[in-house]
Amino acid sequence: MAVLTALRPIGKGLAFAVVGFLIGAGAATLLTTITDRPATQPVITLGYLFALIGWVLGVGLWDNWAREWFGLPVKNTEAFGWPRYFRFTTDHKTIGVQYLVTFVVLFLLAGLLSVLMRLELMAPGQTIMGAKDFNTTMSLHGIIMIAVAVATFLGGFANFTIPLLIGAEDVAFPRINALSYWIVPPVAVLLILTPFFGGFDTGWTAYPPLAVVNATGGLLFVLAFLTFGVSSILGGLNFLATIIMLRAPGMTWGRLPIFVWSIFAAALISLTATQFVAYGLLMIILDRVVGTAFFDAARGGKPLLYEHIFWFYSHPAVYIMILPGFGVALEVLTHFSRKPLFAYKYVVGAILAIVALSFIVWAHHLYTSGMPSYLHLPFMITTEIISIPTGVIFLAGLGTIWLGRLWLTTPMLFALAFLFNFVIGGVTGIFLADVPTDINLQDNYFVVAHFHYTIMGGEIFALMAGIYYWFPKITGRMHSEALGKVHFWWMFIAYQVTFIPMFWAGIQGMNRRVADYTPELGGINLFISVASFLLAASFLVMVYNLVRAWVRGPKASDNPWRARTLEWQTSSPPPLENFTRPPVVVGHPYDYGVPGSVHSAAAPAGGAGDKETH
């Protein structure tokens, strides 16, 4: 009975979604009958749109928020205990956990898809699936991992930690925050449904004309991507406002923890750039559903236009993923070196410079696309200039551990590995920014290896650092450090063994996104496949460790790492209002070893903390 009550909002959301679908599908059927156009795609599109609206209204938007637009009293459906994770709640910590758990599950699912891909690629010829299923598997792996890379930080950790790190009670727009989470489940549902609608075979990039003419699964994918984009835009907006408006007294910009800066930068990109890909996807939907011809060359459209729009978002988007990775890695390196973050001001400058540069490099993905060749040089120059601010991140990381007192905990090991992986990801990026080499390497396994070194070796290793670092704070339980280290070494070694050979496979002529290859490449592919299975298995250790600790691990102390930042100055897990007495920031977060320095003090009773001083 308790379970049923707890799941009531979900049930209501589903019911509203069905009603919404029927309304949308009905309207579409009517319209297509009048205009005498094929009905399937309009029915799905309008049906989904209304189902999405119904879902968010039913799951809690109506009761908690929308009622007040019509002068009705809102009903507070907040709950305590585990049921709170299954409803529209506004507490940033609950939403952070909702995001983290959802996306870690999706991460494991997409990892499983990569195992299926590697099974197929183990030997030349067909192994376990045909080309159609391979394309769908590969495309799903791609888009789910992209979503994971964006949302674990900007949705998960940003939600849980940013208000704590800046000494706030919640985010600026708690209800928008809940909304941005609750429009994610439909994305997952659409993606999981794609195989039943003919799959989709465009990869996550959805280049037209293929994305316009492929099976209906392709439409589901584009709708899912667009919905996820809306969620990221809302998330970006929320964190910008939160960081600008809600910093505790004394939390000046110069005292902001580096993870907060990195989220600020990522949110800036997320708010602005995501809108471009949304328009690109909308144009694909219009081409498919109402027969416009944005990308149909025969009717005057330009397929190349989409590539520009897409990468105008998607290059900055890699910085939505990697900047928070830099942030967590530097954060962890600092606390576990017991030394101030080296060159803090330069790191902030570098992060902001990367944001600016990220918008003017997109066409490095287009050297072989047929765009005019006079554009090659400027984009090569801007792209290679990014190495300079990226170099500052390394200066800070290495400068921080130098002469430090390194405490090699699990999060610290992952943060150190981040530096190792990212230097490989970074220098191989130069080969792809450089026009002569990219003409050959574009779209082959060298690219696959490169972006896995930056996104997985960089961001996902940083994500692991973040998971182990904040786990005690989030759950109030302590994971096993011994198992954490087993996970680290297993994952680190299997990771290198999986991805280093991919560079070589690419140089030898293995191109990406293929279900089959020339027989000479059989040996290297078998090797990569076996290594990738070992890599996948390493996550079982993590799941076992974290699930066990969450259920019956020892209670964590408030500050098991003895870190100085604000989230560790409250209980584990923090109370609903985050701090029993609002904190006042009086010093730099990273002044380890500075005699007598403190980062924060609790406000004196009587609420001096309400007077904002920034």
- Whole-number minimum distance, CB 70 to another protein, in Å? 48
Residue 107 phi/psi, 5-degree rounding, is -60, -45
**Residues of this chain, 231-250, that bind Cu ion according to CB under 5 A:** none
What tokens does 209 get?
């004309």
| Of residues 90 and 382, the one with the C-beta less far from Cu ion | 382
**Residues of this chain, 393-432, that bind another protein according to CB under 8 A:** 394-395, 398-399, 401-408, 416, 419-420, 423-424, 427-428, 430-431
DSSP 375: G
3-state secondary structure of 555: strand
Among the listed ranges 110-118, 169-177, 256-264, 335-343, the one in contact with another protein (CB under 8 A) is: 335-343
Question: How is 249-316 classified by DSSP, letter by letter?
Answer: TT--GGG--HHHHHHHHHHHHHHHHHHHHHHHHHHHHHHHHT---SS-GGGT--HHHHHHHHHHHHHH
Distance CA 140, CA 137 (A): 5
- Whole-number minimum distance, CB 30 to Cu ion, in Å? 39
**Residues of this chain, 584-613, that bind another protein according to CB under 8 A:** 591-594
| Of residues 509 and 607, the one with the C-beta less far from another protein | 509
Q: Is 521 within 8 Å of 505 (Cβ atoms)?
A: yes
| Of residues 182 and 379, the one with the C-beta less far from Cu ion | 379
Angstrom CA distances, 123 to 441, 521, 526, 534, stand at: 23, 9, 6, 17
315 binds, among Cu ion, another protein, none (CB under 5 to 8 A by kind): Cu ion
- Whole-number minimum distance, CB 221 to another protein, in Å? 13
**Residues of this chain, 174-233, that bind another protein according to CB under 8 A:** 201-203, 207-210, 213-214
| Of residues 210 and 286, the one with the C-beta less far from Cu ion | 210
**Residues of this chain, 247-306, that bind another protein according to CB under 8 A:** 297-298, 301-304
**Residues of this chain, 550-569, that bind another protein according to CB under 8 A:** 562
| Of residues 50 and 592, the one with the C-beta less far from another protein | 592
254 binds, among another protein, Cu ion, none (CB under 5 to 8 A by kind): none
395 binds, among another protein, Cu ion, none (CB under 5 to 8 A by kind): another protein
Q: Is 264 within 8 Å of 243 (Cβ atoms)?
A: yes
**Separation of CA 181 from chain center:** 13
- Whole-number minimum distance, CB 507 to another protein, in Å? 5
Angstrom CA distances, 200 to 105, 117, 227, stand at: 22, 15, 17
Size of the site for another protein (CB under 8 A): 90
Distance CA 531, CA 536 (A): 9
- Whole-number minimum distance, CB 400 to another protein, in Å? 9
> 315, 473, 487, 512: which one contacts Cu ion (CB under 5 A)?
315
Q: Which of 143, 343, 146, 338 is nearest to 223 (CA)?
A: 143
Q: Is 478 in the site for another protein (CB under 8 A)?
A: no
Among the listed ranges 19-27, 172-180, 313-321, 574-582, the one in contact with Cu ion (CB under 5 A) is: 313-321
| Of residues 367 and 490, the one with the C-beta less far from Cu ion | 367
Among the listed ranges 298-306, 314-322, 331-339, 344-352, the one in contact with Cu ion (CB under 5 A) is: 314-322
| Of residues 49 and 212, the one with the C-beta less far from another protein | 212
Angstrom CA distances, 305 to 260, 294, 309, 369, 377, stand at: 35, 8, 6, 11, 20
- For residue 91, give every residue at least 6 positions away whose Cβ sits within 8 Å of its Cβ, in sequence order, or none: 78, 84, 170, 174, 576
**Residues of this chain, 360-399, that bind Cu ion according to CB under 5 A:** none
What tokens does 298 get?
């025969």
- For residue 391, give every residue at least 6 positions away whose Cβ sits within 8 Å of its Cβ, in sequence order, or none: none
- For residue 35, give every residue at least 6 positions away whose Cβ sits within 8 Å of its Cβ, in sequence order, or none: none
582 binds, among Cu ion, another protein, none (CB under 5 to 8 A by kind): none
| Residues in touch with Cu ion (CB under 5 A) | 315
